[in-house]
Amino acid sequence: MDQAKYDNITNALASWIAKNCRPISIVTDEGLQDLLRTASGNGFYKLPSRQVIDTRIASLYSLQKAKVQLLLDNATYVSLTADYWSSVANDSYLGVTAHVLDRTWELKSFALAVRHVEERHYSDACSRHFTEVATNWGILDKVTTLSTDNARNMVAAVSQTRFQHMPCFAHSLQLTVNKALVESGVDNTLSKCRKIVGHFKHSPSNNNELKLEQRRLTLKEEALIQDVATRWNSTLLMIQRLVANKEPVLATLLNPDHRHNLQLLSDAEWDKLRVIQALLEPSRYATELLGGEKYVSCSVVLPMICHLLLEMKTLEDDPPYVIRFKNAFIADLNARKQSCNLKWLQIATALDPRFKLLKCVPKEEREAIWSEVQVLVEDCERNVHSQNHQATTDSTGKQVYKVHSYQIYLL
């Protein structure tokens, strides 16, 4: 094998190990070596050492970092998303992601830092972490907004920086759903569901019996899902999977040979689960839409709130627990809406052609929003003229100004 081909395979191995979180010790795997010998047609191919892979990963990182740095250098503005999280080993980490629009107006997102954090997450420490990451990448003066969850320490931390805070509305929505579930009084039903799911998930033999019943009923063999308070939409997923497998679950639990001390759901509670599933579905759709990574989602927040409030209007035939759910949902969502950065959300909504009529905003507020947009446009025009940029005319006759490699059309 010539050296160029060998280097390409080594680089591909290093990239695979890094991107898919494989252990570097995998290069000692004889099966992998046999696979590559077969794929390359070279029976004498030998896997590189761990030290070589370490070096290649470092080289690939440096190359990728240079590309990201160039994109950040050329960007006029940068938005950040930050979150603290814990690993399976209970180690604390900070993840910071940058979002920029490139010269073709395509949204680019990439991680700027995933750093191990040992100190407590006090607001002063968090603020320092955010500022350090922005400084290290040379974008401190370019960062406009910093999006975090709604924890008090995070809100306080961002207030100590020069950045505008943009609370994660998907996280706010999850908190609203949890609040509504508690207020609706369905905790007892959901508690039974969690115990039933845990009964099958924590015992391989119980799970095998469930699979046998699924097979007998010609249903898809699938495990039940346990909900987690911090995992978005997990309660809905638990209910969906449990309702879909009602027959095999009951057949297994009612089998005289199957021992358990579970309290089974009544017919009324099974019906209640189906109603709750329908109530949670709009929130699932909203969360997934707001969590998109390939498009800017800021302009969708206010229309989505409007849609959710319409979905949660009470009806005459709603049972009491549904009325309690909807009322708690509406009250909590409206309260959380006020803590959002409404000014930025309104401007983003106005600039989105889909929502430019601002039907999701009260009529008396729409004129003020457009006035704010006009001020921003005028500031941009002054910036253009103050820098003595020459205007050109495109094929349609519009004046075009080039500012920071972006084109501004004065219509």
Please report, for residues 86, 90, 122, the alpha-carbon distance to residue 119 in angstroms, rounded to integers and kept in the order given: 13, 14, 8
| pLDDT of amino acid 406 | 39
**Cα–Cα distance for residue pair 378/213, rounded to 1 Å:** 68
378-410 pLDDT, tens digit each:
887 887 776 655 555 545 555 544 444 334 444
DSSP string, 96-162: EEEEEE-TT--EEEEEEEEEE--S---HHHHHHHHHHHHHHTT-TTTEEEEEE-S-HHHHHHHHTSS
- What does the angle CA 195 – CA 196 – CA 198 come to, to the nearest 5 degrees? 60
Q: Is the pLDDT of residue 50 over 60?
A: yes
Check: CB of residue 258 under 8 Å from CB of residue 209: yes
Residue type, 245: N
> Residue 52 contacts by C-beta under 8 Å, 6 or more apart in sequence?
10
**Cα–Cα distance for residue pair 243/122, rounded to 1 Å:** 42
At 148, the pLDDT band (50, 70, 90 cuts) reads very high
**Cα–Cα distance for residue pair 202/163, rounded to 1 Å:** 46
At 40, the pLDDT band (50, 70, 90 cuts) reads confident
| pLDDT of amino acid 44 | 87
| pLDDT of amino acid 58 | 94
H or E segment and range at residue 174:
helix 169-184
- Percent of the chain clearing pLDDT 70 (strictly above): 93
